[in-house]
Amino acid sequence: MSGILWHLANVAGILGVLLTLAGGLIMVERRLLALWQDRYGPNRVGPFGLLQVAADMIKIFTKEDWTPPFADKPVFIIAPCIIMATVLMSFAVIPFGPTVGVADLDIGLLFFLGMSSLGVYSVALAGWASNNKYALLGGLRATAQMLSYEVFMALSLMGVVMLAGSFNLRTIVNAQQHLWFCVPQFLGLVVFTVAGIAETHRVPFDLPEAESELVAGFHSEYSGMKFGMFFVGEYLGITLISALIVTLFFGGWYGPFLPPLLWFALKTAVLICGFVLLRASMPRLRYDQLMSFGWKIMLPTALLNLLITGAVVVARHAS
Amino acid sequence: MEPNLDKNSDLSFPGEAPGLFGDFLEKNFLFTRLQDLVAWGRKNSLWPFNFGLSCCYVEMATSLTSRYDLARFGAEVIRATPREADMMIVAGTVFIKMAPVIRQLYEQMMEPRWVVAMGACANSGGMYDIYSVVQGVDKFLPVDVYVPGCPPRPDAFLEALTLLQDVVAKERRPLSWVVGPQGVVQPSRGSQRDLKTPLRRQTTILPAVDGVQDPVQPIHQSPVRLEVAAAEDNAASGDAVRALAERFPDLLVEDRTVRDGTPTFWVPQEQVKEVLRHLRVGVDRPYKVLYDLFAIDERTRVTKHASAGDFTVVYHLLSLDRAGEIRIKTPLQGESPAHASVTDIWPSANWYEREAWDLFGIKFSGHPHLSRILMPPTWKGHPLRKEHPARATELPPYQLPDEKMAREQEALQFHPEQWGLAQHAEDSDYMFLNLGPHHPGTHGLLRIILQLDGENIINAIPDIGYHHRGAEKMGERQTWHSYIPYTDRIDYLGGVMNNLAYVLAVEKLAGIEVPDRAKVIRIMMSELFRISSHLVWYGTFAQDLGAMSPVFFMFNDREHLLDIVAEITGGRMHPSWFRIGGVAQDLPNGWQNKIREFIKYLPPRLIEHDRALMQNKIFMGRVKGIGKYTLDQAIEWGITGPGLRACGSDWDLRKKRPYAGYDQFEFDVPVAHNGDCLDRALVRVEEMRQSLRIIEQCVNNMPEGPYKADHPLTTPPLKNRTLKDIETLITHFLSVSWGPVMPPGEACVPIEAAKGINSYHLTSDGTAMSYRTRVRTPSFANLQMLPLLGQNVRVSDLLAILGSMDYVLADVDR
């Protein structure tokens, strides 16, 4: 009984913390961007502007929620739900600490990859269902982008799997007790990070919603909370990718002195700030450049990484 | 209420004013009522719609940058789509062609939504009481807050935001709305302005000043045959004039009323095309650039030339090899004249002829697509004809009922077949994408219709005129002096550089020689504004390519520069500071300090920007080899400015034919050779460094002396002798009250503005106002080339190309 209770508390705690974090992250991004652009950022609402997100949430909840008459209604409504659902589901397999985490799946990594593939539907369907040319172009870009980046995203992780000998994320973290995988799997880390940014369609891969080109891209017709879900989904996605990078390459919760959960949070926070800095400093790629970058550079790199890792693992087993 | 600092009295009872703790409750996050909570959320989360119309938008955008930082109030989340935005800031002039679009965008916003009218134009029409401008956006939208100013400073916009926040917190809609028996309505009270309309209609023609001064002598000229013409002495074009006279004996009549030294000839309508073709291909070092083509309505002109008819079409040609110009005029007869198109000689004549058709009703036979270009397709009449009313208040008040809205929207629909575009390819359909007239990437009100195959652009058709402020008609009712502020708003990033082109032309008409100090001050201020304009371009160009931070850095630099401008002129974007015969005031004490600081400050910053942006791999990949054109193409399309110098020509008017004293300065003309987006960017960045050099020389060598010419037509005239001599006093009084009276004639002085060659062709009929003001702007010519560059590129490339062109829509549509 207490096991179930602990489990429920675990789930509820993680969900609560995640949603709060996603909100907080919006704030963090706005303040960090401001810092790098020589300004203050939101600082008027509540102490240090901390309640800015609360105000935004209240506003967005009470904003007119509208479905365009020309849209494909059911799909239009389902699309933003998909992104929230898939991202939150993915968090189920993340081991936040030695005892904290929702599910201890043996195929954890595959589950994440599956969920992120499903996530593509959100953007593609939103673009399609809006029945708007800009949204359609955004949706098309997203589909092409994610299809090609999925491929090497999965491939880049196989090196980690080979070294740890498991798809279970908890086992992968435990395998890094002595040496973080960011050292032997440096290429894998680079490729996965790039794929992760593309997955969350952030600058320089924000083509599906490129403001100066496609107005607001796939979410041009969305308003109110439906748009809010895309908005929050994007930040949850960043948290997810950062948490995964920490889990797979930076030893998860391991670290000296501090409690494991704090180590995990700290590492994730640093990565998130990296994501924000990237947004502050990069221009956007062009559609065809993005594709050729993916297929001509990233895919061969991932394959090369796989080949070398495989060779090393085989050699180690043989000796 | 007095602040109550006694801790013990921190109690409040029902019905009493809340004490400190109650204040705390109200101001902070503990709420007693859900309604207050919602109002609090809405108040603190006003996301603006990325919406701008004209100059004011630049100041609005500045309010987002570091010094003002709109983000502090949580309002920096600019939304590009109306669906997600909470407030629409109508920043700029509300054009009649744009009004249905504005209303549609407003209707696409979700409730609750608010409207801020920013600037005099959006409030009431402002300076632009002209046929193409709606006299205030509240004619068809409910406005919550009005921000005065032209343009309002960014701080004024911040104040408007806090005012709006107060209104939102109280859940109060604007007071102009009234709850009536049929629901909430806006009572239609005619404005004071509308009430005055009948009176205005009676006084459209101001009496000439003849009654005050000596009557103007009409200068009906007898035709002057070429053998005695002074035009042959022209250094740059003399031999071409002689060659032309040999080729067409007894045909050319010289126009001696032109005072700017450009050889000008009248040619009968039948032969004009032959003459033009000869100048284009027949003469040595031919006139390859159609610099300008415009019309004059001669029907009410008192001092018109003996060769003139009812209308005149003026061809202003430029030869880059000679750095020389020639002007050909041809008279047209009748109320609705027809003329032959020259689009087969210069492709760039296309838009100019459409403009002449739109504004004067001159039909050009042989034109590929003669249709309205500046006015809405539903417009009746041709506004620059003398019988067309100038003021909006002479026309019935603007209204936008639903049926008119539907009609206007229908008229804006694009029909591919009219432009000869196919709907289908062999095995697929093309998509027609409407980019604009309001789009985050077009830098203003520009509409481009894209024929798309996937993301590849097959054809791009620009549709302009959404920013037509009737500046040319405005010149016909403002005095020579009071027209100066209108010039600032042509290239609204160029500030006083616009004044320069105008006052130089007026001074040519008046025969004023400007003292040295005034010359150097003018050059210094113009170069400051060249840097300012380029900085805005730099930041927005980066933004077009998806980089979000550079724009903050560059606008920050621009703030430093505008501080100098404010210190010297008192203005920021539109100082209107040059005067006929000099400048408005002498430089203030200590003017050098800030400029010297800026000269030290900017170069390291430019290096930083280079590192942050120009050397970025992704940036290079986006701009290198994109939007390429050759030097020949540039000349053929009349491209001037950095766009020309990026394809291998060092043609800079400041060097080739120095004006206003530029021959006294040392600077280099940056040239690049590939003619792509990258090279256009590089040229501009280097130009900023060269401008700094010029400014430094100005600071170090500022001559002493008067800042204004001692000439009776200088406006306002020097005042120091007015109390000693009655005649001087009278002249002063007349010049200030009536405005100066320019001797009849024409003049035009081209200058190298930030975006290319800009000039005002002024025609004086010997009165206190211009008879015809023609504004030749670089952006118009540069943008016309877009269909050529927009072929077989991707949508993202198009935005890079638009960014690298650096146009200002007010400079295109005037």
Angle at A232 between CA A226 and CA A234, to 5 degrees: 110
Residue of B38, B78, B84, B158 for testing the chain A interface, max A β-carbons within 10 Å: B84
- pLDDT 10s digits, A206-251: 777 777 777 778 888 888 888 888 888 888 888 888 988 988 888 8
- pLDDT 10s digits, B700-738: 999 988 888 888 888 888 777 778 888 778 888 888 888
**Rounded to an integer, what distance in angstroms lies between the CA atom of residue A133 and that of residue A130?**
9
Note the pLDDT of residue B657: 87
**Rounded to an integer, what distance in angstroms lies between the CA atom of residue B149 and that of residue B119?**
5
pLDDT for B341 beyond 80: yes
A221 to chain B: which residues are within 8 Å by CB? 81, 83
Q: Tell me whether B112 touches chain A (CB under 8 Å).
A: yes
Note the pLDDT of residue B197: 67
Q: Tell me whether A126 touches chain B (CB under 8 Å).
A: no
For residue B34, give the chain A residue with the closest CA: A58
Are residues A58 and B83, on separate chains, in Cβ contact within 8 Å? no
CB contact residues (below 8 A), chain B span 524-543, against chain A: 542-543
CB contact residues (below 8 A), chain B span 609-628, against chain A: 612-613, 616, 618-619, 621-622
Stretch B393-416: mean pLDDT, rounded?
Answer: 84
CA distances from A252 to A159, A247, B592 (A): 17, 4, 60
Note the pLDDT of residue B505: 92
- pLDDT 10s digits, A21-68: 777 888 888 888 888 888 888 888 878 878 888 888 888 888 888 888
Cis peptide before B151 (omega within 30 of 0): yes
Are residues B616 and A283, on separate chains, in Cβ contact within 8 Å? yes
Q: Tell me whether A306 touches chain B (CB under 8 Å).
A: no
**Band (B487; pLDDT cuts 50, 70, 90):** very high
Angle at B124 between CA B123 and CA B125, to 5 degrees: 110
Min Cα distance B65 → chain A (Å) is 7
Q: Tell me whether A19 touches chain B (CB under 8 Å).
A: no
Beta bridge partners of B178: B185
Question: Helical H runs in B676-751?
Answer: 677-700, 726-737
- pLDDT 10s digits, B139-179: 888 888 888 888 888 988 888 888 888 888 876 555 445 45
The beta-carbon neighbor of A38 closest among B37, B556, B622 is B556
Note the pLDDT of residue A12: 83
Note the pLDDT of residue A229: 86
**Band (B20; pLDDT cuts 50, 70, 90):** low
Stretch B560-583: mean pLDDT, rounded?
Answer: 91
Contact A236, A84 (CB under 8 A): yes
Are residues A66 and B81, on separate chains, in Cβ contact within 8 Å? no
B42 to chain A: which residues are within 8 Å by CB? 55, 58-59, 62
Stretch A196-208: mean pLDDT, rounded?
Answer: 79
A51 to chain B: which residues are within 8 Å by CB? 29, 44
DSSP-based three-state secondary structure for B91: strand
Are residues B80 and A51, on separate chains, in Cβ contact within 8 Å? no
Q: Tell me whether B552 touches chain A (CB under 8 Å).
A: yes
For residue A206, give the chain B residue with the closest CA: B546
**Rounded to an integer, what distance in angstroms lies between the CA atom of residue B389 and that of residue B473?**
10
**Rounded to an integer, what distance in angstroms lies between the CA atom of residue B643 and that of residue B664?**
25
Residue of A212, A214, A223, A227 for testing the chain B interface, max B β-carbons within 10 Å: A212
Contact B364, B370 (CB under 8 A): yes
The beta-carbon neighbor of A59 closest among B41, B50, B439 is B41
Note the pLDDT of residue B13: 40
The beta-carbon neighbor of B546 closest among A39, A43, A210 is A210
Note the pLDDT of residue B200: 62
pLDDT for B215 beyond 80: no
CB contact set of A161 (below 8 Å; sequence gap of 6+): A109, A167, A172
pLDDT for A164 beyond 70: yes
Note the pLDDT of residue B530: 93
Cα-Cα-Cα-Cα torsion A31, A200, A245, A266, nearest 10 degrees, comes to 20
CB contact residues (below 8 A), chain A span 149-168, against chain B: none
Note the pLDDT of residue B10: 42
Note the pLDDT of residue B715: 81
User: How many CB atoms lie under 10 A from the CB of residue A69?
Assistant: 7
Beta bridge partners of B448: B435, B462
CA distances from B253 to A28, B262, B268, B304, B328 (A): 73, 14, 9, 14, 10
For residue B432, give the chain A residue with the closest CA: A133
Stretch B527-550: mean pLDDT, rounded?
Answer: 90
Q: Tell me whether B74 touches chain A (CB under 8 Å).
A: yes
Are residues A39 and B69, on separate chains, in Cβ contact within 8 Å? yes
Cis peptide before B658 (omega within 30 of 0): no
Are residues A62 and B552, on separate chains, in Cβ contact within 8 Å? no
- Counting residues of chain A whose pLDDT is more than 70, the rounded percentage is 98
CB contact residues (below 8 A), chain B span 18-37, against chain A: 28-29, 37
Min Cα distance B611 → chain A (Å) is 11
CA distances from A236 to A25, A87, A189, A199, B730 (A): 9, 7, 20, 12, 76
Angle at B778 between CA B777 and CA B779, to 5 degrees: 95
Note the pLDDT of residue B214: 42
CB contact residues (below 8 A), chain B span 452-471, against chain A: 454-455
**Band (B309; pLDDT cuts 50, 70, 90):** confident
Q: Tell me whether A100 touches chain B (CB under 8 Å).
A: no
Beta bridge partners of B339: B364
Min Cα distance A80 → chain B (Å) is 15
A220 to chain B: which residues are within 8 Å by CB? 81, 83
**Rounded to an integer, what distance in angstroms lies between the CA atom of residue B152 and that of residue B55?**
10
**Rounded to an integer, what distance in angstroms lies between the CA atom of residue A76 and that of residue A93?**
29
pLDDT for B190 beyond 80: no
| B812 HSE (CA, 13 A, CB side) | 28
**Band (A277; pLDDT cuts 50, 70, 90):** confident
Q: Tell me whether A50 touches chain B (CB under 8 Å).
A: no
CB contact residues (below 8 A), chain B span 654-683, against chain A: none
| B526 HSE (CA, 13 A, CB side) | 27
Are residues B795 and A204, on separate chains, in Cβ contact within 8 Å? no
Q: Tell me whether B186 touches chain A (CB under 8 Å).
A: no
Question: Helical H runs in chain A?
Answer: 2-36, 52-62, 73-91, 108-129, 133-164, 169-174, 186-199, 211-214, 224-249, 260-281, 287-292, 299-318
Contact A43, A99 (CB under 8 A): no
pLDDT for B621 beyond 70: yes
Are residues A37 and B37, on separate chains, in Cβ contact within 8 Å? no
b/e code B340-376 from CB counts within 10 Å (16+ = b): bbbbebbbbbbbbbbbbbbbbbbbbeebeebebbbbb
Are residues B80 and A216, on separate chains, in Cβ contact within 8 Å? yes
Q: Tell me whether B281 touches chain A (CB under 8 Å).
A: no
CA distances from B368 to B269, B373, B750 (A): 20, 13, 29
- Counting residues of chain B whose pLDDT is more than 90, the rounded percentage is 19
**Band (B559; pLDDT cuts 50, 70, 90):** very high
DSSP-based three-state secondary structure for B612: helix
**Rounded to an integer, what distance in angstroms lies between the CA atom of residue A204 and that of residue A281?**
9
**Rounded to an integer, what distance in angstroms lies between the CA atom of residue B666 and that of residue B692?**
11
- pLDDT 10s digits, B755-789: 999 999 999 888 888 999 999 999 999 999 888 88
Question: Helical H runs in B570-656?
Answer: 591-609, 617-623, 631-636, 642-645, 653-656
pLDDT for A131 beyond 90: no
Q: How far is CA A149 from the centre of its chain?
A: 13
CA proximity to B290, closest of B657, B748, B639: B639
**Cβ pairs A/B, distance under 8 A:** 186
> DSSP string spanning B546-568?
T--SHHHHHHHHHHHHHHHHHHH
Q: Tell me whether B751 touches chain A (CB under 8 Å).
A: no
ipTM: 0.87
**Rounded to an integer, what distance in angstroms lies between the CA atom of residue B425 and that of residue B458?**
11
**Rounded to an integer, what distance in angstroms lies between the CA atom of residue B328 and that of residue B278?**
12
**Band (B225; pLDDT cuts 50, 70, 90):** very low
Helical (H) or strand (E) element with B23: helix B20-27
**Rounded to an integer, what distance in angstroms lies between the CA atom of residue B560 and that of residue B558?**
5
Task: Give the global pTM.
Answer: 0.87
- pLDDT 10s digits, B632-649: 989 989 899 998 999 988
Q: Tell me whether B795 touches chain A (CB under 8 Å).
A: yes
Burial tier of B599 (Cβ tally within 10 Å: 0-12, 13-18, 19+): middle
Point out the least confidently predicted range of A8-22, B85-99, B444-458: A8-22
Are residues A215 and B81, on separate chains, in Cβ contact within 8 Å? yes
pLDDT for B448 beyond 70: yes
User: How many CB atoms lie under 10 A from the CB of residue B589?
Assistant: 7
For residue B113, give the chain A residue with the closest CA: A63
Stretch B380-400: mean pLDDT, rounded?
Answer: 85
Are residues A212 and B28, on separate chains, in Cβ contact within 8 Å? no
Q: Tell me whether A227 touches chain B (CB under 8 Å).
A: yes
**Band (B194; pLDDT cuts 50, 70, 90):** low
pLDDT for B9 beyond 80: no
For residue A221, give the chain B residue with the closest CA: B83
pLDDT for B211 beyond 60: no
Q: Tell me whether B409 touches chain A (CB under 8 Å).
A: no
Min Cα distance B509 → chain A (Å) is 45
Stretch A309-314: mean pLDDT, rounded?
Answer: 86
Stretch B463-487: mean pLDDT, rounded?
Answer: 90
**Rounded to an integer, what distance in angstroms lies between the CA atom of residue B628 and that of residue B626?**
6
User: How many CB atoms lie under 10 A from the CB of residue B242?
Assistant: 15
